[in-house]
Amino acid sequence: MRQDLVDASTDHFIDRLRRAVAIPSISSEDARRPDVVRMGEWLADELKALGAEVELRPLGIQPGKKDLELPPVVLARYGNDKSKRTILVYGHYDVQPAEKSDGWATEPFELTVDDTGRMFGRGSTDDKGPVLGWLNAIEAHQKAGVDFPVNLLMCFEGMEEYGSEGLDDLIKAEAKGTEKPCLTYGLRGCNYYSIEISGPGADLHSGVFGGTVQEPMTDLVRVMGSLVDTDGNILIPGIMEQVAPVNPDEEALYDNIAFTMNDIFEALGSETTIFDKKKETLMRRWRFPSLSLHGIEGAFSGAGAKTVIPARVTGKFSIRSVPNMEIDKTNEIVCKYVRDVFAKLQSKNTLNVFPQHCGQWWVASPKHWNFSAAAKAVERVWGVEPDFTREGGSIPVTLTFEEATGKNVLLLPMGNSTDGAHSINEKLDKKNYIEGIKLLGAYLHYVAEEPQT
């Protein structure tokens, strides 16, 4: 693939991303489901225009939702040459919620490029930019008149930000008897929990009932405050005991990673990190579990003052899991701990604690030939040897892809740690987008020839 032709198509490729960002494909909001479907159809049309064989595979009704259809999975094939290797790439076209009122400096669903080349917009880095990178790589080969080096299978879903509902069964069904190496990354898992505490039959006025009733909100705050301390230490017995020990060779991998504390300070917009050193910060981010409190449903959260005692509140938190944590064991000890803490409050209110959804951690060997091809592509495009890293985030279907296909899985990077994927002002640097397209193309050429050793 000629890199100069990628550069010459910069405006065109940015416009493609602009059109994608403009579709508010928020999978967690029922009212936005038509927009998620529209995004899948738009993506399918773009692929068809490039000559790919495309199918919009329906997944049926969303579990627990009456008459709400899951968005389709976009399955596409580009090339069907039996003499070439077949590569499967995965991505998602849904995004996190975003409103200008959340604190965005720009309209979240209008791609805005500043004078330093930062492209702001919801989904720019997670995951519309990387998804479109594959389409752009196909188009760049076509414009250069260069034969595409592999058969490319593409699986793009519309529910990743909401737990990838419906995708596991499709992957397992489609994987039978086919050769499908996957491209994604090593990840922590995610166990997401709800704590429901209820008491009165309806919301109450604090002037009338304050001091006479045991308040669910008070109980919930005390329970949630017992889960994790200020420095991020998980206070639930039995969590850290499951974590695989770190050996010296593994620990040494963190020494030379191209990362500075200023990188995370920029992403945070502050210097409020737990640790002051790179290695400790990265290991907490990638290698060890963490527990985060996410919100309280049912409580007053608007501006101003409202003297309400909520009758029922639901606290939400998650644990990012790592090797060798087990989902069922973790769920058991978390729920037992919450029940024990609540029992000690001796409250007359009612508790219900349960896992909402869980995704397994995943780790691959960077010594696999697939990683060797990717490393050569990084050196070709960026002129440096890549770092082999883990990620702190989760994609629930990663392990499903690996187990169903029996193939190696890896990540090819496009964004970086300062992009704010789930935050306000999410962005993707123009340079990363364009060089990322070159990286994807280079990888396909190297992986087509890399010896399978």
Tell the residue number behind the tokens 């907490």, with chain if given.
Answer: 284
Find the catalytic residue in 157, 160, 219, 426.
160
Instruction: Write out pLDDT tens, residues 311-322.
Output: 999 999 999 999
Instruction: Write out pLDDT tens, residues 203-221.
Output: 999 999 999 999 999 999 9
Q: What is the mean pLDDT of residues 237-260?
A: 88
Instruction: Write out pLDDT tens, residues 262-293.
Output: 988 988 889 999 999 999 999 999 899 999 99
Tokens representing residue 42 in the block: 């738009």
Kindly state the percentage of the chain with pLDDT values over 90: 69
Kindly state the percentage of the chain with pLDDT values over 70: 95
**Chain centre to alpha carbon of residue 433:** 18
Which of 312, 334, 359 finishes a domain?
359
Concerning whether 94 is annotated as a catalytic residue, the answer is yes
Which residues are documented as binding site? Answer: 92, 126, 161, 422
Output the DSSP codes for 46-72: HHHHTT-EEEEE---BPTTSTT-BPPP
Find the catalytic residue in 35, 46, 94, 165.
94
**232 and 299 share one domain:** yes
Domain hosting residue 49, numbered range: 3-187+362-449
CATH code assigned at 309: 3.30.70.360
Concerning whether 229 is annotated as a catalytic residue, the answer is no
**C-alpha distance from residue 167 to each of 157, 171, 398, 406 (Å):** 8, 6, 11, 17
Distance between CA atoms of residues 258 and 179, nearest Å:
34
Give domain status of residue 273, yes or no.
no
Q: How many domains does the chain have?
A: 2
**172 and 208 share one domain:** no
Which of 359, 378, 413 finishes a domain?
359
**212 and 116 share one domain:** no
Which of 106, 142, 141, 102 has the alpha carbon at shortest distance from 124?
A: 106
**Chain centre to alpha carbon of residue 371:** 21
**220 and 336 share one domain:** yes
**What does pTM read for this prediction?**
0.74
Distance between CA atoms of residues 37 and 139, nearest Å:
24
Distance between CA atoms of residues 60 and 62, nearest Å:
7
Cβ neighbour number for residue 323 with a 10 Å cutoff: 13
Give domain status of residue 257, yes or no.
no
Tokens representing residue 93 in the block: 């076209």
Give domain status of residue 255, yes or no.
no
Secondary structure class of 145 (helix, strand, coil) = coil
For residue 182, name the pLDDT band (cuts at 50, 70, 90): very low
Give domain status of residue 252, yes or no.
no
**297 and 399 share one domain:** no
**193 and 183 share one domain:** no
Q: Is 63 exposed, middle or buried (0-12, 13-18, 19+ CB in 10 A)?
A: exposed
Which residues are documented as binding site for Mn(2+)? Answer: 92, 126, 161, 422
Residue 185 confidence (pLDDT) above 80: no
Number of residues assigned to the chain: 453
Give domain status of residue 262, yes or no.
no
Element (H, E) at 370: helix 369-382
Outline where 22-153 has alpha helix (H): 33-49, 129-144
Which of 338, 359, 380 finishes a domain?
359
CATH code assigned at 119: 3.40.630.10
Residue 396: per-residue pLDDT: 61
